């Protein structure tokens, strides 16, 4: 699918979702459908889907270690194997844990991203390319902060860390209600990630609707959220009544919840339901990436392929036992001489 | 399944994190906050739906107008003139006199910690004299 068509399909899909929620609540008054039934179905799809995907991955054997590493393998004692090597090319569980922590929390693989470029003339060089890493880490951490901030709608009383996060997020105390940087940084990072796909011809060529759709969907979620908080405003008390009803399994549709909230909730529900079927499932998948979570101990431990079927072996000893007499008759050399006749009887 | 123990532990840890709000609230629905509305005064400076969702923006406007411009009179939607003051107008004796019975109700429920109180103090329960007359 070419870039234009991908963009049209994915943006129309998100726009269609907004229209569905708008017409469903504003026109057809299906508050129960959009406020209770769809969020529950989405949550069930999310949890069942993720667990299913993880179990499916766990069923695939990874028989051999995949040492796609950037450091010296543990080898002879005079080859340097220091702290960096212990994390980059681990042989122990501790090393693997260190590598996973750096991967999951710091996106180390992205940090190593390089770009092949022409220098002067025929010279080519690999340049460090950190923009993707920067946008990715800003996006992911902002999203985490936003999700944690939303706990104020799902818990009563709020856990202590929510207020701390809110204070840091609204540090600059701009406007009222206080501007949370995370929402706007998230939008900026998403815009960069989208432009990156659109402006780089190589990336544009490999980008599919499955790449654009999540970007547009999350952008739409951020936009509706920002609109609701700063511009259109919403009856927060009623919204919390609704969300607390969901989380305590005593659903309720209070009066006075505006349509924009249902659009926001519907888009979030779609995101959750879409999660297990899409590339977004890397949230769980990152923990199961074989190049990151396997120690490189191929020279220390023997790894046996789990799908090796049992091979019937006939060792030379057994073979000679079976044919010794005939071998001697034929004048072939044998390792053990024939048993003496007295033994035979 | 390979490494079943690790996989199941991982799934359980993930589920525990992701279902945090469910087991944290364990099914208790907090009661909807009930604010105590003033008895004497029937109308606020703006209509009720406006005040419900946009009071913070109004107060922000008042703050800028009073502190930065020095303009303190506000013409309400019904044409009445008000003195822009959180402590003396909004929280006067006849209106929302008690922070705990008005402001805090919804703010606590929705986990909002407004920074009004970084500068302002809530009026005493039974103010014997107005703050202006003090000096």
pLDDT band at B36 (very low <50, low <70, confident <90, very high): confident
Q: What's the distance, CA B14 to chain centroid? A: 35
* Mean pLDDT computed over A258-282: 94
8 A C-beta contact, residue A258 and residue A269: no
Q: Say if B81 falls within a structural domain.
A: yes
CA distance A58 to A273: 22
Instruction: Kindly state the DSSP code that residue A226 receives in the 8-state scheme.
Output: H
Q: Inter-chain contact B53–A234, Cβ cutoff 8 Å? A: yes
Q: Inter-chain contact B21–A155, Cβ cutoff 8 Å? A: yes
Q: Which residues of B touch A233 (CB under 8 A)?
A: 53-54
Domain span holding position B65: 36-125
**Over the stretch A191-232, which tens digit does the pLDDT of each residue have?**
999 999 999 888 899 999 999 999 999 999 999 999 998 888
Question: What are phi and psi for residue A117, nearest 5 degrees?
Answer: -135, 155
**Over the stretch A237-267, which tens digit does the pLDDT of each residue have?**
889 999 999 998 888 888 888 899 999 999 9
Q: Which residues of A touch B34 (CB under 8 A)?
A: none
Residue A272's pLDDT is what? 95
Q: Say if B68 falls within a structural domain.
A: yes
Q: Say if B2 falls within a structural domain.
A: no
Whether residue A87 is predicted with pLDDT greater than 70 in this model: the reply is: yes
How close A250 comes to chain B (CA, Å)?
A: 8
Closest Cα in chain B to A245? B29
Residue B133's pLDDT is what? 47
Mean pLDDT of chain A: 89
Q: Which residues of A278-310 are buried (b: 16+ CB within 10 A; e: fewer)?
A: bebbeebeebbbeebbbbbbeeeeeeeeeeeee
Whether residue A340 is predicted with pLDDT greater than 70 in this model: the reply is: no
Sorted by where each starts, the structural domains of chain A and their CATH numbers stand as 3-293 (1.20.950.20), 312-345 (no CATH)
Residue B116's pLDDT is what? 84
Q: Say if B84 falls within a structural domain.
A: yes
CA distance B17 to B14: 5
- Structure token pair of residue B106: 């919804």
What ipTM, to 2 d.p.?
A: 0.83
CA R_g for chain B: 23
Residue B132's pLDDT is what? 53
> Model's pTM, two decimal places?
0.85
Domain count, chain B: 1
How close B99 comes to chain A (CA, Å)?
A: 17
pLDDT band at A9 (very low <50, low <70, confident <90, very high): very high
Residue B109's pLDDT is what? 87
Whether residue A119 is predicted with pLDDT greater than 80 in this model: the reply is: no
Higher pLDDT, B72 or A20: A20
Is B15 in the A-facing interface, judged by CB distances under 8 Å?
yes
Q: Say if B78 falls within a structural domain.
A: yes
**Over the stretch B7-32, which tens digit does the pLDDT of each residue have?**
999 999 999 999 998 888 887 888 88
Is B7 in the A-facing interface, judged by CB distances under 8 Å?
yes
**Over the stretch A121-180, which tens digit does the pLDDT of each residue have?**
788 888 888 899 999 999 999 999 999 999 999 988 888 898 899 889 888 888 888 889
Q: Say if B4 falls within a structural domain.
A: no
């Amino acid at each position: 699918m070419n870039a234009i068509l991908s963009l049209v399909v994915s943006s129309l899909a998100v726009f269609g979702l907004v229209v569905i929620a708008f017409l469903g609540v504003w026109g057809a008054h299906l508050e129960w459908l959009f406020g209770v039934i769809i969020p529950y179905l989405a949550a069930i799809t999310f949890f069942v889907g993720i667990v299913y995907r993880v179990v499916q991955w766990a069923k695939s054997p990874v028989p051999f270690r995949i040492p796609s590493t950037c450091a010296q393998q543990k080898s002879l004692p005079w080859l340097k194997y220091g702290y960096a090597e212990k994390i980059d090319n681990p042989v122990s569980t501790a090393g693997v844990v260190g590598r996973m922590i750096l991967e999951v929390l710091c996106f180390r693989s992205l940090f190593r991203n390089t770009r092949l470029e022409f220098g002067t003339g025929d010279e080519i060089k690999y340049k460090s390319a950190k923009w993707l890493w920067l946008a990715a880490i800003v996006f992911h951490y902002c999203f985490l902060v936003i999700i944690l901030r939303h706990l104020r709608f799902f818990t009563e009383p709020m856990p202590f860390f929510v207020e701390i996060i809110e204070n840091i997020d609204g540090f600059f105390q701009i406007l009222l209600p206080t501007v949370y940087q995370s929402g706007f940084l998230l939008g900026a990072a998403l815009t960069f990630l989208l432009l990156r796909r659109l402006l780089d011809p190589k990336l544009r060529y490999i980008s599919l609707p499955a790449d654009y759709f999540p970007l547009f969907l999350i952008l739409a979620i951020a936009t509706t959220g920002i609109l609701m908080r700063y511009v259109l405003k919403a009856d927060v008390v009623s919204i919390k009544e609704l969300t607390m009803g969901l989380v305590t399994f005593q659903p309720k549709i209070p009066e006075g919840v505006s349509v924009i909230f249902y659009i926001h909730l519907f888009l979030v529900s779609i995101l959750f339901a879409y999660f297990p079927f899409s590339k977004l499932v890397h949230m769980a998948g990152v923990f199961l990436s074989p190049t990151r979570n396997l120690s490189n101990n191929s020279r220390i431990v023997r790894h046996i392929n789990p799908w090796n079927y049992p091979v019937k072996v006939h060792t030379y000893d057994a073979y000679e036992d079976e044919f010794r007499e005939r071998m001697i008759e034929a004048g072939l050399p044998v390792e053990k001489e024939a048993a003496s006749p007295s033994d035979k009887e | 399944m390979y490494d079943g123990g690790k996989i199941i532990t991982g799934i359980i840890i993930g589920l525990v994190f992701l279902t945090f709000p469910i087991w944290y609230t364990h099914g208790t629905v907090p009661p909807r906050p009930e604010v105590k509305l003033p008895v004497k005064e029937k109308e606020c400076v703006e209509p009720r739906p406006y005040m419900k969702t946009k009071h913070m923006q109004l107060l922000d406007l008042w703050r800028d107008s009073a502190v930065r411009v020095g303009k303190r009179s506000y013409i309400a939607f019904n044409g009445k003139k008000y003195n822009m003051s959180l402590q003396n107008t909004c929280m006067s004796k006849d209106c929302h006199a008690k922070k705990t019975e008005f402001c805090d109700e919804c703010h606590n429920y929705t986990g909002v910690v407004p920074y009004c109180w970084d500068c302002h103090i809530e009026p005493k329960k039974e103010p014997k004299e107005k703050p202006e007359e003090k000096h």
